[in-house]
Copies of this chain bind each other. A is one copy, B any other.
Amino acid sequence: MTSPQGFRAAGVSAGLKSTGAKDLALVVNDGPAYDSASVFTSNRCKANPILWSQEVVKDGTVRAIVLNSGGANCYTGAEGFQTTHAVAEQVAARVGIGAGDVVVCSTGLIGLANPRQNLLDGVDAAHAALDGSGGAAAAEAIMTTDSVSKQVVVEGAGWSIGGMAKGAGMLAPQLATMLVVLTTDALVPHEDLDAALRAATRVSFDRLDSDGCMSTNDTVTVMASGASGITPSLDDFTAALTQACTDLAMQLLKDAEGADHEIAITVLNAASEDDAVTVGRSVARSNLFKAAVFGKDPNWGRVLASIGTTDAVFDPADLDVAMNGVWVCRQSTPHDDPATVDLEPREVSVTIDLKSGTERATVWTNDLTHAYVHENSAYSS
Give chain A's interface residues, CB within 8 Å of chain B.
Answer: 43-46, 72, 74-77, 109-111, 173-175, 211-216, 285-288, 291-292, 294-297, 299-302, 304-310, 316, 319, 329, 331-334, 368-370, 372-374, 376-381
Q: How far is the CA of A287 from the CA of B307 in the complex (A)?
A: 20
Instruction: Tell me if A214 and B334 are in contact (CB < 8 A).
Output: no
Q: How far is the CA of A376 from the CA of B373 in the complex (A)?
A: 13
Query: Contacts A297-B377, A297-B381, A302-B110 known; A285 to B370 CB distance under 8 Å?
Result: no
Q: How far is the CA of A373 from the CA of B285 in the complex (A)?
A: 14
Instruction: Tell me if B308 and A216 are in contact (CB < 8 A).
Output: yes
Q: How far is the CA of A46 from the CA of B301 in the complex (A)?
A: 11
Which B residues touch A378, using CB under 8 A?
295, 297
Instruction: Give the residue among A175, A286, A372 with the most B Cβ atoms within 10 A.
Output: A175
Q: How far is the CA of A372 from the CA of B291 in the complex (A)?
A: 9
Q: How far is the CA of A74 from the CA of B305 in the complex (A)?
A: 10
Identify 22 residue pairs between A and B in the complex whose beta-carbon atoms are under 8 Å apart, listed by A's number: A43-B309, A44-B316, A46-B308, A72-B301, A75-B301, A75-B332, A75-B334, A109-B301, A110-B299, A111-B300, A175-B302, A212-B285, A212-B286, A213-B286, A213-B287, A213-B288, A213-B302, A288-B376, A291-B377, A295-B376, A297-B378, A372-B373
Instruction: Tell me if A215 and B305 are in contact (CB < 8 A).
Output: yes
Which B residues touch A174, using CB under 8 A?
288
Query: Contacts A370-B373, A377-B295 known; A44 to B308 CB distance under 8 Å?
Result: yes
Considering the complex, give the chain B residue whose CB is closest to the CB of A367: B377
Q: How far is the CA of A301 from the CA of B47 in the complex (A)?
A: 11
Query: Contacts A213-B288, A334-B75 known; A381 to B295 CB distance under 8 Å?
Result: yes
Shortest beta-carbon contacts, A-B, top 10:
A110-B301, A295-B377, A45-B308, A77-B333, A291-B376, A43-B308, A44-B308, A291-B377, A294-B377, A111-B301
Besides A45-B307, A45-B308, A173-B288, 9 other CB < 8 A contacts? Answer: A44-B309, A44-B310, A45-B316, A46-B308, A212-B286, A216-B304, A216-B305, A288-B376, A292-B380
Q: How far is the CA of A299 from the CA of B75 in the complex (A)?
A: 13
Shortest CB-to-CB span from A374 to chain B, Å, is 7
Instruction: Tell me if A379 and B299 are in contact (CB < 8 A).
Output: yes
**Which of B287, B296, B304 interacts with A45 by CB under 8 Å?**
B304
Q: How far is the CA of A271 from the CA of B369 in the complex (A)?
A: 38
Q: How far is the CA of A211 from the CA of B285 in the complex (A)?
A: 10
Q: How far is the CA of A296 from the CA of B380 in the complex (A)?
A: 10
Q: How far is the CA of A60 from the CA of B340 in the complex (A)?
A: 46
Considering the complex, give the chain B residue whose CB is closest to the CB of A294: B377
Shortest CB-to-CB span from A309 to chain B, Å, is 5
Which B residues touch A213, using CB under 8 A?
286-288, 302, 305-306
Instruction: Tell me if B305 and A214 are in contact (CB < 8 A).
Output: yes
Q: How far is the CA of A317 from the CA of B376 in the complex (A)?
A: 26
Which B residues touch A333, using CB under 8 A?
75-77, 111
Considering the complex, give the chain B residue whose CB is closest to the CB of A295: B377
**Which of B110, B215, B287, B370 interacts with A211 by CB under 8 Å?**
B287
Instruction: Tell me if B379 and A368 are in contact (CB < 8 A).
Output: no
Shortest CB-to-CB span from A316 to chain B, Å, is 5
Instruction: Tell me if A43 and B305 are in contact (CB < 8 A).
Output: yes
Which B residues touch A301, using CB under 8 A?
72, 74-75, 109-111, 175, 216
Shortest CB-to-CB span from A377 to chain B, Å, is 3
Which B residues touch A374, using CB under 8 A?
370
Q: How far is the CA of A308 from the CA of B333 in the complex (A)?
A: 39
